[in-house]
Amino acid sequence: MAENAANMDFRLRAVRLWLLAAAAMIFLTLVVGGATRLTESGLSITEWKPVTGVLPPSSDAAWQDEFRKYQAIPQYRELNRGMSLEQFKTIYWWEWSHRFFARMTGAVFLLPFLFFLWRGWIPAGMRARLWVIFGAGAALGAVGWWMVSSGLAGSDRVSVSQYRLGFHLTLACAIYAAILWTAQRLSPTPPGEAPGRLRLGALAIALLTLVQIYLGALVAGLDAGLVYNTWPLIDGALIPDAARLWFVQPAWRNLFENTLTVQFDHRMLAYALWLLAVFHAVDAVRAQRAANGALLLAVAMTLQAALGIVTLLHLAPLALALAHQMLAIVVLTVAVVHAQRLSRRAARPVLLTAESRP
């Protein structure tokens, strides 16, 4: 009996480490993707070749061919006309690296997943969830190309659609959060009782952080941080005039296309998230439940808010903007892990081993 328990513990640890490795790969891909966006490199590869595209150009002729394709799109004509081949290679390598890490993330997830399924090491209640996560990851690649295609030949855009950028980033972060949550379910940390309000608050913070990342993608897609770069005032007021916030028709488009409204929404949710995190930390300390996690979340949220303000005031230079995006993923990580620890934990997972499968 003790030997069987030890074997199950080993297998569950292996599955958990695999999930954490996949999450780490997604984190790395998100960071590279953020740099790709900030350096305006995302449109440098104008074709989607899921298999052969893993190989970069290997000759001068191949590089010239890729450069000619890029010269045919609006971004080159309107922003980068006269760019040298060496300058093109710089932005090309950013986009190629982003796609390469995305492919490697898929491999890191799929290959061990198939092995663990074959050996019966995946807990019975997690198989469907992991297949859904894999399907979402596969869809993410198609969504990425759908996003890139919005700025290619036949379009009048010099960057990708902020709608598609926001969807692409949020889907990636949702997959990341789902993998983290699943890995934490296999954590050896024993479950603890917590008041319902703490569980609900932690879950609300995690979900709202995901929404805030989406709003941040809209801000980035519209370059709204370069238009309104004062704080605490925005457009000369704490709350801008309604006529400025809602002048686009139909009104709902202001939420996605009006630079003032988009940045204002991003700021307001940032304030709300910070207050919620602080109140949640105070509540956790008083309840003496998960206080360390709640305090860490409040600190991370505070640092992210302060970094966002500094980035805004300095007109979003590359280093600060990338740090702000990276810290957003760190905040999401802390929020998801904290929320999972406070959630109701299932009974110990049951493994269906290769020897016991029907």
Q: Report, as an integer, the average pLDDT of 288-317.
A: 95
Q: How far apart are CA 208 and CA 110, in angstroms?
A: 29
Is there a cis peptide before residue 232, judged by omega within 30 degrees of 0? yes
Residue 154 pLDDT: 77
**Token pair of 126, please?**
């997690």
Residue 204 pLDDT: 97
Is there a cis peptide before residue 250, judged by omega within 30 degrees of 0? yes
Q: How far apart are CA 137 and CA 116, in angstroms?
A: 18
Residues 6+ apart with CB under 8 A from 220: 37, 38, 162, 165, 321
Write down the residue that tokens 């700025």 correspond to: 151
Determine which of 3-17, 61-75, 109-123, 337-351 has the lowest per-residue pLDDT on average: 337-351
Backbone φ, ψ for residue 133 (5° rounding) = -60, -45
Q: How far apart are CA 264 and CA 275, in angstroms?
A: 17
**Token pair of 191, please?**
């479950």
CA angle 166, 171, 173 (to 5 degrees): 95
Instruction: Encode burial over 214-247: b for 16+ CB neighbours within 10 A, e otherwise.
Output: bbbbbbbbbebbeebeeeeebbeeeebeeebbbe
**Token pair of 328, please?**
């957003």
Q: Which of 34, 23, 293, 338 is nearest to 177 (CA)?
A: 23
pLDDT-above-90 percentage for the chain: 82
The model's pLDDT over 118-162, given as tens digits with 9 standing for 90+, comes to: 999 998 889 999 999 999 999 999 999 999 999 997 788 899 999
Whether the predicted pLDDT of 285 surpasses 80? yes
Residue 357 pLDDT: 47
**Token pair of 103, please?**
């492919």
pLDDT-above-70 percentage for the chain: 94
Contacts 24+ apart (CB under 8 A), 321-325: 321/34, 321/38, 321/220, 321/225, 322/31, 322/34, 322/35, 322/38, 325/30, 325/31, 325/34, 325/38, 325/216
What is the overall mean pLDDT for the chain?
92
Contact 171, 136 (CB under 8 A): yes
Which segments within the chain are labelled E, that is strand?
none
Q: Report, as an integer, the average pLDDT of 35-45.
A: 94
Whether the predicted pLDDT of 5 surpasses 80? no
Contact 107, 89 (CB under 8 A): no
CB atoms within 10 A of CB 324: 21
